Every structure is written in structure tokens, then in C-alpha cells.
Structure 1
Amino acid sequence: MCQINLNKYLDHNKDWAKKLFDSNNNYFSDLTEGQSPIAMLLGCSDSRVSPSKVLGIDLGELFIHRNIANVVSHSDLNFLSVMQYAVENLGIRNIIVYGHYGCGGIKAAYENKSNGLLDNWLANIKDVIRHHKDELNSIQDEAEKLNKLVELNVLEQIENIKQTSIYKEALEMGIEIKLHAWVFDFSSGLVHDLKARRELSMQE
């Protein structure tokens, strides 16, 4: 069995902390004062799509929650608690749903094979498949179909956020929460704004 050396991450951490401290003696002491993130991000747990790496996020900028296939489930008290804290305690007014092409959770839901306990979670994505059955069936290429499902899933989770009591109560209080649909593309390293893309296609 291959031996994995996790100590390299601790060594990296020491170097990283030293560089930041040397450049700004108050960097870490300022962090202890509290957080004021500019947005909340719901992303996938996939190890290849780290928002901090891909988006160049500094500490304290994003309030992040991650799960398999970036799903908003109305029975998921974990996500709902995170969202409520973000909106009500941190005053966040922008929420990003951040999916990615090549998502294993999306593929597993599409293939509809038995995955044990995971099937209960994937049922949320299977609902997306059912709602967009005709559109997906019209796509012949399997890779394109899965990519489209990734996009549809992100957009569907935006709609699910709108159905939460947290979002509705914010609207009733006159608080505008902007929702953003983003997808990371492994082939280019770029993040695509699905809403901006949709608006652009409507103008053409």
C-alpha cells in the first residue's frame, strides 16, 4: 500500500502563514475580529473544484457550504442552517450555486444504478432529470447530455433556494437576495455564468 505523507500539508501551512504574517503583521489578528463575507457559495464536494483555488478567494470573502452535486434539499437542515446564518447573521445578499461539468453525483443519478445510501441524496437530482426529460432526451451525445444536466441541476437548485422559508422571509422584509448560477469547466479552467449566458442567447 502506498504511504501518503500528510505532513507536507502542515509544512505548506507553516510557509503560507509565515509569508502572510511577514507581508502583514495584522493579517491573522484582523481575522479574529470576525467575518464579513460578500457572498455565500453552495458548491460540490468534489476535490477538484475548490472555490478558493478556482476563484482566488481570500480568507473571509466567501461563506461556503459543499455537498454532493451542490444540491438544495428542503430536508437538509445543515444547508438550511448555513443559509439562515448567512442571510440573517452575516447579512449576505448574494448566493452562488457553483456546479461543475464531469460531476460524479450527476452521472450517478443519470445512470440510475444502485448506490446504497447515496441513492437517497441522488433522488434530488433524479427529480431534475424527470422535470427536464424531454430536453435531455433530445440530446444525442451522452457527454453533452450530462453537461446539460449539470447546468439544469444548478438552475434547479436556484429555484429550490427561492422556495426556502429563509428566502421568502427575506423578500417579505424587503431584503433582495441575488442568486447566481455558475458552472466550472475542467476543459478550460473557466467558470461560466449560466444566467448571463442565457440572457445573451435571448438577445441574439
Structure 2
Amino acid sequence: MQYSTQMLAQNKVWAYEAALADSTLFGRISRGQSPRVLWFGCSDSRVPAESVTGCGLGDLFVHRNIANIVSPDDPSAMSVIEYAVVALQVEEIVVCGHYGCGGVRASLLPAPDELPHVGRRIGPLRALACRCGGELDRLADVDAKTNRLAELNVLEQVRSLRAMDVIRDAPQPPKIHGWIFDTRSGLIKVLDPTDE
């Protein structure tokens, strides 16, 4: 059996159980969305935003890409940010990276020829790794370097968001948080010192 067939069967069970737990759920979410938070995360399958935060349907507006990179040159990311801030008027934006990120690790290694799109996507990470080379070089191994660069990347994306006109010009600019998910413990760590 294909995994997609199993997924469809699991969806039926999930929908039944969700409606049993809250008979108003599907009627409520079918009328529209009003999430309070934009989640900007990594595409990694181990870090689903709703699961790791305990949020439900409609709680988060989500954008995910390799290594949670916020780039003004990325029309997909920028349209999500614009819609979240202007149309949905989210109150908060969370940039959440994670330890053991494959995109971050790849930025520390030579670019493979067979993944040119990934190579372009992680270009900003390679540049960040170069700028922070002294700090990263003092770390013992590639895992420690990857995890520290993942933290630095989140902080860089927070800075990028805070500098965007769409954020600064909003009538009520959303608060922006920098977090990292620890795949070893399941816990989220706050990285941004202004986020207490």
C-alpha cells in the first residue's frame, strides 16, 4: 500500500475524531481564518508548527522553507508576510529554526552539483557562516557548528523581518520572536533577548 493511501485513511479517522471532540470545529474554520501568529519555520518533517506548539486548526498562519530563510527576494515568503501582516493583521511572527537542520549543515559543506536549487536557497546561510567564521571555527565538531549556525540564522531572519517596510509600516507592527526547536528534547528555546 502506498503511504498516501494510508494518509487518506488516517485523515478520515482524524476528521471523525476532531468533529467528535468539537462539533463546531469544521463549521467555524470553514467561515475563514483569523490566526494571531505567523510561523516562519523550516520544511523539515520533524518540526510541524502546530504539533510542537500544541496549536490547533486556524491558530497559525504558516510558511516553511529549507532552513527558515526570510528573503526579500523570495516572492513566496514575501507574499505570505505581506498577507499575514496586512490582511490577517497577525499580532506576532515566530521564526523557528531547529537543531540538526540539514539545510544549515549543507551550508557548511561544499555545494553538491545535483541540488542546484537547494544551493541557491542556502546561499544566504553560506554568507552568514563566512561572516561568523571565527565563532564557528572555535566549535569542536560539525554538529556544534550546525547548531550554532542554526541559532545565528534565526537571529538573522528576525533582524531581516524587523527591517522590512511591510512590518515597520503596519498600523500595529507584529512582535517578532526568534526560537529554536531542540529535536533531542522536543523543547523550544527562546533565542532573541528582546523576546522575554
Q: TM-score surpassing 0.5?
A: yes
Aligned ranges 1:35-114 → 2 under 5 Å: 35-114=33-112
Aligned residue for 1:42, secondary structure, equals strand
Q: Distance in 1 between the 2:165 and 2:110 partners?
A: 31
Selected match of 1:192 from 174, 189, 192: 189
Quick check: 1:177 aligned with 2:187? no
Quote the sequence identity (%).
Answer: 37
Once the two structures are superposed, what CA deviation does each residue of 1:73-109 show, in whole Å capped at 9, x if it has no partner? 1110111110111011111020000100111110111
Matches within 5 A, 1:113-192: 113-114=111-112, 115-170=115-170, 173=171, 175-192=172-189
Output the CA distance in 2 between the equivalents of 1:77 and 1:20: 34
For residues 106-151 of structure 1, give each alpha carbon's deviation from its aligned partner in whole angstroms, at most 9, with x where no partner exists: 0111113334232111111112112212211222333211110000
Q: Could you list the runs of 5+ residues in structure 1 that have no partner in the other structure?
A: none
| SS of alignment partner, residue 186 of structure 1 | coil
Structure showing greater radius of gyration is: 1
In 1, the alpha carbon distance for the partners of 2:147 and 2:17 equals: 40
- How many Å apart are 1:9 and its aligned residue? 1.4
User: How far has the Cα of 1:48 moved from its partner?
Assistant: 1.2
For normalisation by structure 1, the TM-score amounts to 0.88
Q: CA deviation at 1:17?
A: 1.1
Whether the 8 Å contact between 2:151 and 2:191 is mirrored in structure 1 is yes
Aligned CA-pair RMSD: 1.8
Take 1:32 and 1:128, find their aligned partners in 2: how far apart are those partners? 42
Task: Give the whole-Å Cα distance in 2 for the aligned partners of 1:57 and 1:104.
Answer: 25
Displacement of 1:25 in angstroms is 2.4
Secondary structure in structure 2 of the residue aligned to 1:187 = coil
Pairs aligned (count): 194
Structure 2 equivalent of residue 23 of structure 1: 21
2:32 pairs with 1:34: yes
Cα distance in structure 1, aligned partners of 2:130 and 2:90: 32
Q: Partner letter of residue 152 of structure 2?
A: L
Task: Encode CA deviations 1:144-198: one digit per residue, 9 max, x unaligned.
Answer: 111100000000011111222211322xx4x2321111111111111111125x8
Gaps of 5+ in 2: none
**How big is the shift at 1:199?**
8.2
